[in-house]
Each structure stands twice: as structure tokens, then as C-alpha cells.
A = this chain, B = another copy of it.
Amino acid sequence: MLKKPDLDCFFQPQSIAVIGVPSKIPKKNWPGIYGCLLAYGYPGRLYPINPKAKEIAGNKAYPDLSSLPEPVDLVILSIPAEAVPAALRECARTGNRNVHIFTAGFKETGEPAGIRLQNDIQKIADDNNLQVIGPNCMGLYVPKSRIATWVKPPDAIGRVAFLSQSGGHAQDFTNYGARLGLGFSKVVSYGNALTLDAGDFLRYLAEDPDTDIIAMYLEGVADGRRLLEIVREVNQFKPVVILKAGLTESGTRAVASHTGSMAGQTHIWDAFFKQSGAIPAQSLQEMANTVLALQHIVSVQGPGVAVLGVGGGVGVEAADACSRAELSLPDLPESTQHKLRQFVAPAGNMIKNPVDAFVVLLDLRLLAKTLDIISSETCFDMIIISLHLDWIYDIDEGLHIQELANFLATSARRELKGKPFAVCWRTTRLVPEIKEQGLLFEETLLKANVPVYRELAQTANALSSILKYHLLKKQLRN
């Protein structure tokens, strides 16, 4: 693999200058990049640049880069598009090599003026060996360095990185992640990818000791062959999950209009996934769900799933969801069904697989016994536990829901003898107390590193993604 690119200045900058800071930071509405950095508590040396201001938010303002006491690790441009070429030249002249261009209005407009401007800045950047994130992008979110160029990102530091060609998606994905207890190491919204593209960030993240899992939102890429090679290599030791947008006729045109990218054709990207081993995702939520499973489940050995839960219709839904995700639900062997029949009556219960037996969920000893029996079967590679909280709530107004959470967060692992499992819960009744109990239940499981979902299709897809990842990785290694 190529040498790790020199991007430390972006992710751990000791000093940042922001060009184009308003004299007064708006209290409402968007506070601007400088305001975001202040609000998130960036601890380094932060220089606002505005030739018309002496002081901004109580800090000394500077008229330009050359008046700064030092060349900075990172310059952020938040100025009109027409002013960007001159600002980039000033960066080059003053020895400021690392630039994030927040400004939009370039190639993505599809209009002659914007395309010409992008060609201009491309030349300036190339001639002067500048490293540029953007233009037309939100930029950076690195909780460990307390850097965020958008409003109110989550505080949690974690081991997931996210590369995104959409700033909105960078915000949404990190928020979805936070709900699932995922924290982030480094997040980059890089828009039109003038000099730094997905591949460069990937090579950096490959050797980043703070990153274990890499998620990407891709609209297009200039050099697909190069990206394929990088992903294939990185994916062998850090799973790469990619949401590739624009793979439909309307999507392709929207991508051109958003980041001026060529989306590429479906069959090319199908081959990309097959040859790189990257995990495809169809939506941000699906990507977050997959990352959650990757974070908590080391490996899955095969496609056999046992589903344990309550509700006949829900059981059928689980079976269909698993089949659609290319997992299988082998019938419980007859001898095992006999064991379950000792404490599960035939009427109103299914015990073939799915095992739908309310009695088992009501008594933790029976649940432990059932998990032990099921997980002893070699035909099962993983277990899905599906809980309808509306029905469990009625027993004792939520006490048992929390007992189940504590059991699943602790002793369940022992009964399952280390077999991977995921939990899926639902409540549909319009009773706020049940939803609250559900959120508590979810929190307990997430804190115990148990992947927990709210839809069976999501659960099956996440488990299936892990299985496919391991199978394909093995195949590509050979």
C-alpha cells in the first residue's frame, strides 16, 4: 500500500484560521464555521480572519493570513466562491498548505461560471501542492480533537470513521450512530473532492490507531480503479461499509447536480463491491445498523439463524426477513423440540423455528434453559431474540422488560456459549410509558455491547452483512 498521506494537520490541528468570519456571530440560525468551532470547544489556537473587524466574539481578529503570528495547520475558507481563487493563492504564498473550502458554487452548479471557478482553483491547488478538503462541503468532525464545523454534533469519542460526500449525511449518520451508542474517530465531509478524495482519506484511516470500522457515503469518484485497490486492502483488516448513491437514473442526475460527480453504472459498482469485499448499504440507517453489528459481533460462521420471540405474525415476519437477507431458519431438530415441549404447551406456541413461546419470555429460568438448548444445536450460527414490548409491558408495567434487559445484557451470553446474537424490539401501542421502557431496555443492551434493533428486516440485514463480509474477505484473501 502507498504511504499514509500526511493528513494529521486536518485531524489534529494545533492551529486553525477561518477566513470569512462575520463580525458578529449569529445567536440564532447557523453560527458559521468559526462559531461552530468555538461552540464545540476547539482547544487549539483559533484565528478569525475579517479585514473589517478588530475583535470577534471577544477574540482578536486578523485582516489576512500574512498577519497571523504563524502559518496554521488548517485554513478554512468560508467566503463567496469568486473570492476563493485569491484566497487559495494567499494560502500558497503564506505557507498554509492545508485548506478546507466550505464554499459552494463550483462544478456542482453545472453552470459555466461555477465550472470555470473549479478549474481555476484546481490549477492553483495543483501548482502549489495544496491539500484541499472540498469545495462544497461541511468539513471535519473529530470529537477527540474537539473539532466540528457543524452545529451540535454528538460528544462521544469512538472507533468508527465516516467519509461523506454530503455534509447533511455526515450530520445525520453521526446522529444515527449516537442513538445506537456508536462513537466516531474521524468524520470528513469532502464534497467535490478537489485534491483529497475518498481514497486519500481511506489510506490515512487504514493506519489510524483510533479507527476500527470505516463507513463511506459515496456519490462518485475520479479514479475508481485506485479506490477499488485501496478499499480491497483496507477492508482486509478494517471493515469498510459503503452507501453508494446515484445508482438509479434519477439519482445519477441528482449526484451530478450535488457534487458534480459521475455516479457510474450499477454493474460497475456491483463488481466494485464483489472485488473489494466492501459491505454495501442501501441507506444511512442500514449503514449505521451494520456498523453496530460489526462493532459488537466478532464473526458469524454460517447462515443458520434461530429466532426466539413472541407473536405468530412477528415470527413469520422474522422468517421472511431472514430469508430475504439470505439467512436460513433450519427447523429445530425433533429431539430438541421434545426438550422444549417439557415446558412449552403446543397451543398458541410455535417451537419449530421461529420459537414463539410467551411462557419462555416470562420466566428468566426458562429463557436461560431455552437459549442453552437452542444454542447447543450446530445448525444455528446466530440467534435473534424478538420482543414485542406491548405484550410484555402488560404483565407488570415494565418491570419484567427491564429484567429481560438485564438478563440479555449479562447471563444470556453464557447460555448462548458465545454464539452471536442480536435483539429486536417493538412497541406500536400509543402508550408513552412503553416507549420509555423500550428506550431504557435498548440503552441497557447497547451499553453491554449487544446489537439491538427496532425492525426485524434491519436485524436480519445487519447479521447477514457480517456473514457476507467474513465470507468474501476470506475468499479475496485466498
Contacts and interface: CB of A to CB of B under 8 A. Distances in A.
A168 B164 CA distance: 40
A77 to B, nearest CB: 13
Given A314-B168, A430-B154, A352 B257 contact: yes
A233 interface: no
A394 B151 CA distance: 9
Interface in A144-175: 151-152, 154, 164-169, 171-172, 175
Contacts of A346: 105, 109, 111, 113-114
Contacts of A113: 346
- Complex copy number for this chain: 2
A254 interface: yes
Contacts of A104: 347-348
A110 interface: yes
A249 interface: yes
Contact of A245 (B154, B316, B352, B428): B316
How many A residues are at the interface, by size bracket? 35 or more
26 contacts: A28-B394, A29-B394, A29-B395, A30-B394, A80-B347, A81-B347, A103-B347, A109-B347, A154-B430, A166-B312, A168-B314, A171-B390, A179-B430, A219-B316, A245-B316, A246-B320, A248-B319, A248-B320, A253-B319, A254-B315, A254-B329, A255-B316, A257-B350, A258-B313, A258-B350, A259-B312
Interface of A: 28-30, 80-81, 103-105, 108-111, 113-114, 136, 151-152, 154, 164-169, 171-172, 175-176, 178-179, 217, 219, 245-251, 253-255, 257-259, 283, 311-320, 322-324, 328-329, 331, 345-348, 350, 352, 354, 356, 388, 390, 394-397, 426, 428-431, 457
